[in-house]
Each structure stands twice: as structure tokens, then as C-alpha cells.
Amino acid sequence: MQNQYDIPAMGFGTYGRNGEAGVEAMLVALETGYRHLDTAQDYGTEAQVGEGVRRSGLPRSDVFVTTKIRTSNLREGTLVPSLRQSCETLGLEQLDLTLIHWPSPNNEVPLPVYIEQLAEAHALGLTRLVGVSNFTIAMLEEAQAILGDLRIANNQVELNPLLQNKKLANYCTEKGISVTCYLPIARGILGGVPEIVDIADRHEATPEQVALAFEFAKGYIAIPTSGKAERIRSNFEATKLTLNAEEIRVIEGLDRGQREIDPAWGPDWD
């Protein structure tokens, strides 16, 4: 499952996957078939991701690596050095995708300041693709105007059956911006949603697999995570699950706008 940017749709989130246990979880993911590791400067897992890629024995070109720029590195003159440091920590010459993790809190740093630096990082070859995370439609439009011919490849946002972010996701799809879902399995609470349990039972699947299959059916990328080998493998089975049109329609009706990540300094969501 790919998209116009060849970003593997099934990614492995690395938030909380610290230390040797974190490396082991990434190795299980890579052995299982995941080919996309998602990290961030704020996660403190870049070193583990690099170690996982090296110890997996897979060619570098086989593993898609994403990192995200922390908000303290958005000021003038700080983004590019921080990304060089990320590459060094990862042990990689180039990222596949670099995202702005959050818009500058309370617009403390004007958006053009860090978007222009993101373009500079791309021009220097530090990252193959550029994108953003937690950006609204207005912010995406402003950023794309600054970037010109350099396309915003991805917007990573909270998205799952209980928070479908339809207005924003539809805008991204229309504009050729791939969507990555974080918290794609809603922190494991979907087992309490009868409609999802019914669909899961029909497919002899888990509620989490149904959520991921729904996201893939919509053309999205998803980055679930777990420290448990059996859960890592179970989530990957969602790549083999196909939902029918009626099941997708039922899940589309479950949107509650139930947002989990909503800092006071965050953007005004669409």
C-alpha cells in the first residue's frame, strides 16, 4: 500500500519506544513487514530508530524514516542545524520525510520563518520530502504558497474512527497532500464501540485492525505503536483486511470529534 509519494501506508510509531526495549520493538516491526518508522526530535527515539534500521539488516532504501522538528527549533537559524543533528543521531545521511511537528505555539515564530528553513533543509539534501503536522487548512495554504513548486507531501494529524477530521482530510486529499493518522487506534478504546466490534467479529479481526483497515481504505497512512510483539504483529495484519462499502459507511458514521491531543497553545482546528 503506497501513495503518490511512495510513503508506506503502514508505519510504526516510535513515541515511547525508548532504550533497548524500544530498539527490540522496532526490530519486531521491521521483521514483521513494517517499512516506515516515524520518530521526532521530541520523542528521544531517533537513536533507537537508527539502531533498529542498522540491526535489521535491511537496505537503507527499504526503510522510510520520518522525523519531526520540535517547536524550539523553529526560530531563525535553528531548524537546519537541528535536522543535521537528527541525521547524525539517526546515523543517516538523509531523512525520507521531515515534518514541522506543531505550528509555533501562539504564533510566537511567524510561519514563514520556519517554512523557509524547511525548504532550505530540502535544498541542502537533508530530507527527500517535506511536510507538516497538526496544520490547519489555512496554515497549509500559507505554507504551500511559500514553498512554491516544493510540494507539501504530508500532514500528520490525529485521526481515527472517533475523530475523522473530515474537512481537513478531504482538503489534503484534494490537494495531493498525503495524510498520516496519529493515534490511529484511539488508544485502544475502540473495543467499546459496538459497531466496530460487530465488524471485527465478522472478519475475525480486532477492533484495532478494523480501524487501521478503515484508514487504509480512505487512502491514509497510519502509525500505530506498541511495545508488545504480539500487538505489533496483530496491527500489521490490518494490511490484509478489506472492508466493504457498507462497513466503511458505518464507520464513517461513528465520528464524534473526540480529540485527545489538544494543547491550549495549539491551532484553532478546522
Residues serving a catalytic function are 43
Confirm if 212 and 222 have CB atoms less than 8 A apart: yes
Confirm if 118 and 130 have CB atoms less than 8 A apart: yes
Sign of CA dihedral 252, 258, 260, 262: positive
SS3 156: strand
Residue 200's Cα: distance from chain center in Å?
A: 24
Phi, psi torsion values for 163, nearest 5 degrees: -145, 90
Which residue type occupies 30?
L
Residue burial 188-220, b: 16+ Cβ < 10 Å; e: rest: eebeebebbeebbeeeebbbbbbbbbbbbbbeb
What the block records as the C-alpha cell of 208 is: 484495532
CA 218, CA 129: separation in Å to the nearest integer? 22
CA 112, CA 215: separation in Å to the nearest integer? 31
CA 4, CA 2: separation in Å to the nearest integer? 7
